Structure 1
């Protein structure tokens, strides 16, 4: 017996480490500093039935040498959990435990040719296996629906470190539409002129209609803009009523608009906006420079130096932008 309505989540705990967490080419979490970080978040909306790629892209952070790089005291613990949707108790089915103490560091430079040292950073992590789950117990099986693949460890996008792994998961929902969206180019694959055209297109045809609907508190327009996203979230999280997620999202945004502690939605500063494209080339969003997962839809608090953000990601289908996450 495996799960009828599996609810998958990631538990994260880190210290002295910066990273992107990436599932199937989609950045789902970033941490740019060395301060401790601990959280748990759902991932049903990012995964596929069958093989899924899980990656940790390490980021260079301040070190004792006065430079940016990996730290020997860096730690990341990432646990993949599953439970039946209407139950509370989850079990850990995969654990990535990264420790930097075994890295072969020479003045904070990683020796990428020392494969043994790279692999030893994951010495206490889950080993490859295939299994089913019966009564919340993992049972190894050659025909198991779950499978944990080998780790691949090597040089990352910032010459830090990249940890990759394939994990097979059973899910009852269809392939999410954005996995079949139009392919988008990364910034470094475009000329400056192409980048400016892409940036303006996303701003004018995706963000401006959404910003205007928020500024006008136009619930019907917001419902229209979030409908396709809502359909998939209803499926991903087994919402009992059709259109429930869209209703909840519009209600949430309307609550921010009417909150007496918040100012009106801030204008989008286009000059301080870059376009970010996911590693799988299928999602795009605008963000502040140097902060890839920052949102451009912000409400400033009246009595505190804080902002509340609405994060959104867009996919491109047949010439049109659509909110998908």
Structure 2
């Protein structure tokens, strides 16, 4: 870390622990009132080591939060039709309250078709078109977990968004696009940037809030950051490296998320909170456990 650092670190790990603890209390209350334990089903296609590690981590977090987890491992050769059938069966299973398809899946699978096989009321990862539409129109539904976690972090550090210029670098359907819509809902002026954006640095230097979500290590450097800006690094690349060059960005940003320990823990926390909320809705329990995204 640079000796000239001026930015305050945004502690996603600490906030995530509080969110998970709250979800655990509500999960326990649901079980006490209904006899039902909230359950998250995780589907993994193939044996990619990184994906398998993520799944194990999520299952361990479920256990600590009093959430049951069901693991469904499918061979790498699984077809789109077979995956859709598996997700459809889980959607019909009353003992499962939330469904997570670990992505990315193999290139031979139509990922969008697979996502759409998840019932909206169990889409606790916020990946379906139904969830995106509900979020965009401000209607009830589940938020994409990483964008939801980012908004929780911004709220925790009392970042004023109304009237501010937010630049989102990345346009994926489960991160870049939804976080831009959530920022827009808070009255920020939102600019999306991507691989075809001309003079990215010039756009970034006008941003009060930067969300980096493009998957290119250290793409954004300190000279691209407006002094006093808030920098959210949602990138994760080999070697625990984000999309932002941390040391140089710290010299100009007011607030910044570290990698790891920033956005990542928040993603899992929101996933668990939304799983408990899905269980509340499906069991009719009266406790409100909605993640405040």
Q: Same fold (TM over 0.5)?
A: no
Structure with greater contact order relative to length (CA < 8 Å, sep ≥ 6)? 2
* TM-score for the superposition, normalised by structure 2: 0.30
The higher radius of gyration belongs to: 1
Q: Which has the higher strand share?
A: 1
